[in-house]
Amino acid sequence: MGNHRTGISTPSPRGPAGMPSCRGRHICQVFTTGEERLAALFDFIRTGLRLGEQTCCITQKPTDEILDEFLADFGLSLNGVKSTGQFHSGINRDFYLAGGGFDQRRVLGQWETMFAQARARSAAGLCAVAEVLADLSYLKGGTQLTIYETQLEEWMQRRPVTIVCQYDARAFDACTIMNVLKVHPLVLANGRVAASPFYTAAERRKSH
């Protein structure tokens, strides 16, 4: 595999760990460095674009320049993929806190809108990487964040959607990290996607 100019290893054509594009896969990545975060972002965005999926990244800081440089290594341009409607990027504060507050239904509605756009384009599915805003962990002791992730997981089960939820271990407390790991069936660690040993199925959670 080649290396991007940032020094981050580029993915194989089938994505992280050779996996094909996922269908209804809710993945949690807990990262400790910006390079870890970008490596996952590049992996999933490139794989989604190659497989004809609607792709999206939601990040804390604008990444257009970095993404454009990355895509150029593969003969693509950011403006080009945006003009076709296949790619969308946004800032996580705007995505999660539009209107000044966190509304789970509104955020889930945004995912539904993106999925509807993917279907309208006859895309193979939706592939997104979303850096979760640390501010959400302070809302009602973090329970709103866990409820949102649970609802997102339930919504994804019926749709060909892959979403990687990125959590900065430097910004979230250990309790919040453990709670969100419990509602993600898959984890991304060391460049590989695997079943989460912490995941608790929704049916089991409801019985307690």
Helix 174-181 crosses helix 143-156 at what angle (to 10 degrees)? Answer: 20
From CA 167, how far away is CA 134, in angstroms rounded? 8
Read off the pLDDT of residues 44-81 as tens digits, 9 standing for 90 and up. 988 998 899 999 999 987 778 888 888 888 788 888 88
**CATH fourth-level superfamily of 19-206:** P-loop containing nucleotide triphosphate hydrolases (3.40.50.300)
Q: What is the pLDDT of residue 15?
A: 40
Read off the pLDDT of residues 165-188 as tens digits, 9 standing for 90 and up. 999 999 999 999 999 999 999 999
Dihedral angle sign, alpha carbons of residues 7, 173, 148, 160: positive
Tokens of 66: 């970095």
pLDDT at residue 83 above 70? yes
pLDDT at residue 91 above 70? yes
Domain edges within the chain: 19-206
Burial of 68 (0-12, 13-18, 19+ CB in 10 A): middle
Q: What is the pLDDT of residue 70?
A: 84
DSSP 154-183: HHHTTSSEEEEEEEETTTS-HHHHHHHHTT
Burial of 18 (0-12, 13-18, 19+ CB in 10 A): exposed
pTM: 0.83
The alpha carbon torsion through 24, 132, 203, 17 (nearest 10 deg) reads 40
pLDDT band, very low/low/confident/very high, at 139 (cuts 50, 70, 90): low
Percent share of the chain, pLDDT over 70: 83
pLDDT band, very low/low/confident/very high, at 152 (cuts 50, 70, 90): very high
Tokens of 50: 């190659």
Nearest to 137 by CA among 97, 105, 106: 97
pLDDT band, very low/low/confident/very high, at 142 (cuts 50, 70, 90): low
Could you tell me if 10 and 3 are in contact, meaning their C-beta atoms sit under 8 angstroms apart?
A: yes
Residue keyed to tokens 């991304």: 188
